[in-house]
Amino acid sequence: MSILVVGSVALDDVETPHGSVKNSLGGSALYFGAAAGIFTPVNLVGVVGEDFDLNTIEFLKSRGVDFRGLTVEPGETFRWGGRYHDNINKRDTLYTYLNVFENFKPAIPEHYRRDPLVFLANIDPELQLQVLEQMERPRLTLLDTMNFWIHGKKQPLLELIPRIDVLILNDEELQELTDIPHLYRAAESLLQ
């Protein structure tokens, strides 16, 4: 059973208390594909810029990740910079440069549209909705988001949540999305 993932493929600059990396492979679709591909075939849809070295993702093909839905567009790849704290659930976004991702319009290849599982990785909620509208009744739909979209596209995100089965947030994102500091009450508010 294959999984469709639509999301970011990025180049990240990440700082942690234990070290830092620059221009590392990043993006929620890429990380999801790396993990899920161990267990089941993954069909990935995303966009990168001309600066992205496609050879860096070759190893994922052996894990069952199909990249026929990844397009290369003129311009630079999506870039994110973040700093993680001792509590790995706490992070600060230092910058987000959408670059080619700013004009990304996910076109789901015909052979991906019947995938029974859909993971709407961390992208604009309006794009996540466009993906759902192209699918042929998936059995399970999961959605991931982050503070960038919660702050910039909160209303579209709130309108999308009733159409999905599983929402992935950390505690900080849940509090930001609901404006409720108590975690149990915040989660409960999304179920109403």
Cα separation of the two ends of the chain: 32
The number of helices, as runs of H, and strands, as runs of E, in the chain is: 7, 10
pLDDT in tens, 44-80: 999 999 999 999 999 999 999 999 999 999 999 999 9
pLDDT in tens, 147-157: 889 999 999 99
| pTM given for the model | 0.89
Averaged pLDDT score across all residues of the chain: 94
pLDDT in tens, 93-113: 899 999 999 999 999 999 999
Distance in angstroms (rounded) separating the CA atoms of residues 20 and 22: 7
pLDDT of residue 90 exceeding 90 = no
Nearest to 52 by CA among 94, 10, 92, 83: 10
CB 9: neighbour CB atoms within 10 A? Answer: 27
Domains and their CATH numbers in the chain: 3-9+26-74+104-191 (3.40.1190.20)
pLDDT of residue 121 exceeding 80 = yes
